[in-house]
Amino acid sequence: MKQLDKLPRPGYFGEFGGRYVPEILLPPLTELEEAIERIMPSEEYRNTLRDLLENYCGRETPITLCENLSKELGFELYLKREDLLHTGAHKINNAIGQALLAKMMGKTHVIAETGAGQHGVATATAAAKFGLRCTVFMGAKDVERQAPNVQRMKLMGATVVPVQNGSCTLKDAINEALRYWISHQHDTLYVFGTAAGPHPFPTLVRNLQKVIGTEARAQMLAKTGSLPDYVVAAVGGGSNAIGMLYPFVGDEGVKLIGVEAGGTGEPGCENSAAINLGKPGILHGELTMLLQDEHGQIEESSSISAGLDYPGVGPEHVYLHSIGRAHYGIAYDQEALDAFKRLSRTEGIIPALESSHALAWVFSHAAEIPAGSKVLVNLSGRGDKDLAHALQHITLD
């Protein structure tokens, strides 16, 4: 057994991650891994991606100091403004990078899973830009709940396939997309939406999203002369958070905080806090922390924010948690709604309900954050998409 420990284990973060898939999924994953190594370091790929990120997506995104809130809180609150990107969230960073890879691999078709519809929209956008055919798998329940995003995808030429299996939500859409990929790998690339799933997706997605933290780190140094004391991001599958946190991992003095969705907060309520409340298990080809019952069956996740509604979490977060480098807190639905309203009123910025969870953690821990600290929050997306839903729960006078 000693020797087994010495075998190379690509795609593992400590004990977590890996590639727990049926053998017939290995060829497309291996082809993708080989393409990542061959194409992504090339000048053509890097220059094209840089140009697209700047001139199509709108990078770099600014850092905003929240002056009004900072006065109220007694420390400096900065936002990394991923809400200002094309399509309104960080997801385009990943979708455009994977779609470009697909194009340079000679693929003509991209597929994606989507829950709330945000990753589906980002992939449909990138596919339209590159002239690729696009098919988005979406739980039938989500197709009904997220009609405006379904319309956006269709407008941009994507085909949306309602998935009728299981709970008819995101986890079933991922299963269906993986199944489809097995039989269509010759012309199709699966554009995975978060830093989870089988190797190489967690690493690929992190590498495409780390532009967030790399920019933010340089901007904080240039703007304030030092690094932030806290860096905070909301965790669904974990892509915006790992993109923000990863470039700060080597900066020992910087506290890294991921915020999971706790749902309503009632005892035993459905939630999306896999690191805080889950157990180790295997889902979608990775060993990670999962919400599961005593028989190991995956439990339904639930959050006011559809984008955080995933029963698992990316393996790199589980690893950062296990070594104590990052801390993972919880924000509840009502706290996120309060933060949604508070940022809108004090700063004139309407945050996505997902990002509102990160803000809510900062607000609920304000008493513990030393005066004068610098707190950097990733504003992963804008909240216009959430307005109708949020207004069912908050009052406006």
Ligand X SMILES: *Cc1c(COP(=O)(O)O)cnc(C)c1O
Which residues bind to ligand X, rule: CB under 6 A? Answer: 89, 91, 118, 194, 234-241, 307-308, 352, 354-355, 380-381
Closest separation between CB of residue 144 and ligand X, Å?
19
User: Cα 122 vs. chain centroid, distance in angstroms?
Assistant: 12
Token reading at 162: 């309602």
Task: Give min distance, CB of 219 to ligand X, in A.
Answer: 20
Could you give the angle at the alpha carbon of 15 between the alpha carbons of 13 and 21, nearest 5°?
85
Separation between Cα atoms, residue 57 and residue 217, nearest integer Å? 20
Report the distance separating Cα 345 and Cα 341, nearest Å.
Answer: 6
User: In the complex with ligand X, which residue's Cβ is closer, 77 or 308?
Assistant: 308
Residue 24 Cα distances to 98, 198, 337, angstroms: 22, 13, 44
Which residue among 57, 86, 90, 357 is the active-site one? 90
Shorter beta-carbon distance to ligand X: residue 123 or 380? 380
Q: How far is CA 378 from CA 17, 64, 197, 361, 370, in A?
A: 24, 11, 23, 12, 20
- 66 as an active site residue: the answer is yes
Minimum gap (Å) between residue 197 Cβ and ligand X: 11
Closer Cβ to ligand X, 367 or 388, answer by number? 388
For ligand X, the closer CB: 21 or 352: 352
Closest residue to ligand X in the complex (CB): 381
Q: How is the beta sheet containing 12-13 ordered, strand by strand?
A: 12-13, 16-17, 286-290, 279-283
Verify whether residue 90 is a known catalytic residue: yes
Shortest Å, Cβ 194 to ligand X: 4
How many CB atoms are located within 10 Å of the residue 223 CB?
13
Give the residue numbers annotated as catalytic, written as ranges.
Answer: 66, 90
